[in-house]
Amino acid sequence: MQSISLLFILLTCSAATIAAQITPPAPVGPTPSDNQLRWQEMEYYAFIHFSINTYTDMSWGYGNEDPALFNPTKLDARQWARVCKEAGMKGIILTAKHHSGFCLWPSEYTDYSVESAPWKDGKGDIVGDLAAACEEYGLKFGVYLSPWDRNHPDYGKPEYITYFRNQLRELLTNYGDIFEVWYDGANGGTGWYGGADTLRKIDRTTYYDWSNTYAMVRELQPDIVIWNDGGDRADLRWVGTESGYVGETNWSLLNSTGPVPEEELRHGVEAGDAWVPGEVNTSIRPEWFYHPRENTKVKTLPELMDIYYQSIGRNATLLLNFAIAPDGLIPETDAQRALDFAAAVNEAFADNLVERASATAEQVRGNDPKYGATQAIDGNDATYWTTDDGVTAASLTLDFGQPTRFNRFLVQEYIPLGQRVRRFTLEALVDGNWEEIADETTIGYKRILRFPTVEATRLRLNITDAKACPLISNIGVYRAPQILTPPTVLRKQSGEVVILPADPESELFYTLDGSEPTPDSPRYDGPIATDAGGIEVSAVAYSPISSELSPVTTERFGIARTDWRIVDIPDEQVANVIDGDPDTYWHQPAGNALPASLIIDLGKQERLSGFRYLPDQRLWSSGIITEYNFYVSSDGETWRLVSEGEFSNINNNPLWQDKTFDPVTARFVKLEALANTKEDNAAGYAELDVISESAMR
Ligand code: FUL
């Protein structure tokens, strides 16, 4: 008995001596500031787009819209905050001033604001209302202030920078704590500019003198994080797209100087010398502001879940936008969709199977339990499993004790000491054999993997390469319910409608009369022949196994294109522009200088009230048209200009651009590309379509 106690004392002493000698790991590379850490832990927060252009159906206000238009009848910032809170968001960023220059607060420095609007007799302050609502609902509050101001007469001159800073000072002084400030990279171009109605370009690298602006911001709001699109290093970065995802490989680092190519926005820079993590910004609708035509285009639950896994699940935060409707509220459908999204995320991650597992690691720093495998499954983000210095490959095994079904894996690095893991794999012990189920690159603050459900007794995380000893603070394993993805609906040039399932095992049902499809509706067995007129198709996927229905896809198509042809372009590929398939494209041959024209012969006279352009959908494609003229003709010789202008924000959000005009009768249409996003001579198209007066839209 005595000898056992002695042994125990000896063992305890030696463990204590070892522990005393074990030094904690040293930081590796750049590390996050306290502000960046706090912000990263917010994970999910809202954008709100609301401005004068909510009342003109425009993506970007020009700067001359009459403030008298701004008259929301039911505006309630508390509704916005309540929806965001219930949707699990941690804060709200408001477009205090968008490119139009119209201010949602009564700025001392301009009349172009709510002060000149009929709303509340010019006594309202939406920034103040939302700041108060955020406080009430326990949300953080942030502001978007567009540097580009299409209203201000001085835009482009040094005086404007003073104006911009004055406004920034107002926002950062009068509305309590601001967690994030957003500047927007869209800068310079045409605008009203106090009546000058001209084109003003600025040199983005010098005009704004960001370093002095940043200094002012930090002085006024010491706990803030500053957003920028990469050019001027701030606290966080844009990820190079507004479609709702960041690269699977995602380092929270950039180089502190030099230009930031799109690749680096998307993936960060492994050897970067500055901590600049990514923020995924996307809208719950296709566009940022409210457009009635998008009421059937609110992102579906499966789309939102994809966005979740491709943002928060890839070491980024998610900034999801609501477009306020002209009445001043978040539309019901959008609010409900966000609540369904929150419920689905909660359900997916409700039951962490590691709570019923044990964890062991192949290598533990100094054999000290303080750094043991259990620290990765203890639910405490401040503790972690790590290895000895110099060990950059090691495994951790979870033992569930019995066959266990799962399809999600969550893993976090302890980022206060830097982002380290370069590569990792996952293996599952299925029927006595180890099977690899994932081979991935970075982890960072949080990484979530999705894979088909496996049934395994053990799960092994292999860190195969890291910058230094890996620090794994948290692991989660889950079995998330399946969510059916809605089908895709296309109309080919022949007029046939094609419905494509996302999951080949599901059955498809559709309607052509605007009613909601159910399993009692016609079943889709192959292309549906339609006549030449406009048509609305709604389709749904149905799982015979779970008896579940997907969300509904609704597409409205204009006149059929059966007799259409492109005039005078011998290249056969040009037919891609009118084939109804958004994934095919055509570019004007290299060397064709802008302006470049594309003419469609519709085959017969049609009553037209608009046109639609979809740019080449490939990532970072060239030839995205920004400025255009659109003509119609009855004979293909005498042309009449019926629409001209810009495709706003098409670079960051390359969606269908719909332009309407007063109805005309014509057989030929011509889109003339005047300028593109890259300011070179290319013009590219995925699709060009017309809006016929009779067709439903
Ligand atoms: C873009 C802007 O041009 C859009 O209108 C929107 O505000 C988005 C968040 O940023 O660059």
State the pLDDT at residue 230: 59
* 184 CA to centre of ligand 1 in angstroms: 6
* 238 CA to centre of ligand 1 in angstroms: 11
- What percentage of the chain has pLDDT greater than the value 70? 96
Which of 48, 652, 655, 677 has the most ligand 1 atoms within 8 A of CB, as the residue to mutate? 652
Which of 52, 57, 150, 184 has the most ligand 1 atoms within 8 A of CB, as the residue to mutate? 184
| Range of weakest confidence among 124-128, 349-353, 606-610, 631-635 | 606-610
Higher-scoring residue by pLDDT: 371, 4: 371
6 band by pLDDT with thresholds 50, 70 and 90? very low
188 CB near ligand 1 (under 6 Å) = no
Q: How far apart are CA 348 and CA 471, in angstroms?
A: 25
Number of CB atoms found within 10 A of residue 12's CB: 10
Q: Is the pLDDT of residue 623 over 50?
A: yes
Q: Is the pLDDT of residue 10 over 90?
A: no
Q: How far apart are CA 386 and CA 25, in angstroms?
A: 8
In this prediction, residues 462-472 reach a mean pLDDT of 98
Q: Is the pLDDT of residue 9 over 70?
A: no
* 99 CA to centre of ligand 1 in angstroms: 9
Q: Is the pLDDT of residue 695 over 90?
A: no
Atom nearest to 60 CA in ligand 1:
5
Q: Is the pLDDT of residue 477 over 90?
A: yes
* 20 CA to centre of ligand 1 in angstroms: 54
- What percentage of the chain has pLDDT greater than the value 90? 81
| Range of weakest confidence among 371-380, 541-550, 561-570 | 541-550
Residue with tokens 């049609």: 606
* 262 CA to centre of ligand 1 in angstroms: 17
Number of CB atoms found within 10 A of residue 612's CB: 16
| Per-residue pLDDT tens digits for 156-186 | 999 999 999 999 999 999 999 999 999 987 7
State the pLDDT at residue 651: 84
* 407 CA to centre of ligand 1 in angstroms: 35
Beta-strand runs (E) in 184-311: 189-191, 198-200, 225-228, 236-238, 253-254, 274-275, 278-283
692 band by pLDDT with thresholds 50, 70 and 90? confident
Q: How far apart are CA 466 and CA 425, in angstroms?
A: 12
* 162 CA to centre of ligand 1 in angstroms: 23
* 313 CA to centre of ligand 1 in angstroms: 24
The terminus-to-terminus CA distance of the chain in angstroms comes to: 88
User: What is the H or E stretch that residue 91 is in?
Assistant: strand 91-97
Atom nearest to 283 CA in ligand 1:
9
* 490 CA to centre of ligand 1 in angstroms: 28
> What Rg do the C-alpha atoms of the chain give, in angstroms?
28
| Per-residue pLDDT tens digits for 105-153 | 999 999 999 999 999 999 999 999 999 999 999 999 999 999 999 999 9
The DSSP line for 498-523 is EEE-SSTTSEEEEESSSSPP-TTSPB
Query: Cis omega (within 30 of 0) on the bond before 72?
Result: no
Q: What are the start and end residues of each CATH 2.60.40 domain in the chain?
A: 488-557
Atom nearest to 144 CA in ligand 1:
7
* 527 CA to centre of ligand 1 in angstroms: 38
**φ and ψ of 148, to 5 deg:** -75, 130
CATH class of 35-347: alpha beta
Q: How far apart are CA 536 and CA 516, in angstroms?
A: 11
State the pLDDT at residue 546: 78
In this prediction, residues 587-594 reach a mean pLDDT of 80
Instruction: Indicate the pTM of the whole model.
Output: 0.87
352 band by pLDDT with thresholds 50, 70 and 90? very high
Q: Is the pLDDT of residue 5 over 60?
A: no
Angle at 636 between CA 634 and CA 640, to 5 degrees: 65
Angle at 182 between CA 178 and CA 613, to 5 degrees: 145
The DSSP line for 347-399 is HHTS--GGGG-EEEES--GGG-GGGSGGGGSSS-TT--EE--TT---EEEEEE
185 CB near ligand 1 (under 6 Å) = yes
Q: Is the pLDDT of residue 331 over 50?
A: yes
Higher-scoring residue by pLDDT: 243, 560: 243
CB 102 within 8 A of CB 64: no
557 band by pLDDT with thresholds 50, 70 and 90? confident
Q: Is the pLDDT of residue 13 over 80?
A: no
State the pLDDT at residue 231: 64
CATH topology classification for 565-696: Jelly Rolls (2.60.120)
State the pLDDT at residue 187: 81
State the pLDDT at residue 694: 59
Q: What are the start and end residues of each CATH 3.20.20.80 domain in the chain?
A: 35-347
CA-closest residue to ligand 1 atom 7: 288
* 48 CA to centre of ligand 1 in angstroms: 11
- CATH number of the 488-557 domain: 2.60.40
374-400 burial code (b ≥16 CB/10 A, e <16): bbbbbeeeebbbbbeeebbebbbbbeb
Q: What are the start and end residues of each CATH 2.60.120.260 domain in the chain?
A: 353-478, 565-696
Burial class (CB in 10 A: 0-12, 13-18, 19+), 540: buried
652 CB near ligand 1 (under 6 Å) = yes
State the pLDDT at residue 678: 82
Query: Phi-psi region for residue 270, left (φ > 0), alpha (ψ -120 to 50) or beta?
Result: alpha
282 CB near ligand 1 (under 6 Å) = no
Which of 237, 242, 647 has the most ligand 1 atoms within 8 A of CB, as the residue to mutate? 242
Q: How far apart are CA 440 and CA 420, in angstroms?
A: 14
Q: Is the pLDDT of residue 321 over 90?
A: yes
Q: Is the pLDDT of residue 8 over 60?
A: no
| Per-residue pLDDT tens digits for 281-310 | 999 999 999 999 899 889 999 999 999 999
State the pLDDT at residue 449: 97
| Range of weakest confidence among 71-80, 126-135, 688-697 | 688-697
184 CB near ligand 1 (under 6 Å) = yes
288 CB near ligand 1 (under 6 Å) = yes
In this prediction, residues 184-194 reach a mean pLDDT of 88
State the pLDDT at residue 682: 84
281 CB near ligand 1 (under 6 Å) = yes
State the pLDDT at residue 208: 92
Query: Which CATH number does the domain 353-478 belong to among 2.30.110.10, 1.10.287.40, 2.30.30.90, 2.60.120.260?
Result: 2.60.120.260
Q: Is the pLDDT of residue 482 over 50?
A: yes
Q: How far apart are CA 669 and CA 598, in angstroms?
A: 8
State the pLDDT at residue 693: 72
In this prediction, residues 392-420 reach a mean pLDDT of 97
Atom nearest to 289 CA in ligand 1:
5
* 205 CA to centre of ligand 1 in angstroms: 19
State the pLDDT at residue 471: 98
In this prediction, residues 196-224 reach a mean pLDDT of 94
State the pLDDT at residue 94: 98
Q: Which amino acid type is present at position 184?
A: D
In this prediction, residues 562-577 reach a mean pLDDT of 94
Q: How far apart are CA 440 and CA 447, in angstroms?
A: 10
| Per-residue pLDDT tens digits for 495-532 | 899 999 877 778 999 999 999 999 999 999 999 998 87
